[in-house]
Amino acid sequence: KKINHLNYKSHTADSFNEIFNNKYSSKPVKLSGELYLPKKKGKFPVVYIQHGTGHPKGHINFFQKVIVEMHKENIAVFIGDSYSKREKRLQGWRLGLAARVLDGLMVLNTLSEHKNIDPDKIGITGYSYGGMVAFFTAYPKLLDLVSNGKSFAAYMPVYPGCDIVFKDMKLV
Contact 49, 62 (CB under 8 A): no
Sign, CA torsion 52/54/60/62: negative
Q: Tens of pLDDT along the chain (172 residues)?
A: 567 889 999 999 989 999 999 888 877 899 999 999 998 889 999 999 998 877 777 778 888 899 999 999 999 999 999 888 887 666 667 888 999 999 999 999 999 999 999 999 999 999 888 888 998 898 888 888 888 778 999 988 787 776 666 666 665 6
CA distance 90 to 83: 7
CB proximity list for 108: less than 8 A, separation 6 or greater: 48, 122, 124, 137, 147, 150, 151, 152
Tell me which DSSP letter residue 158 carries.
E
- Global pTM? 0.87
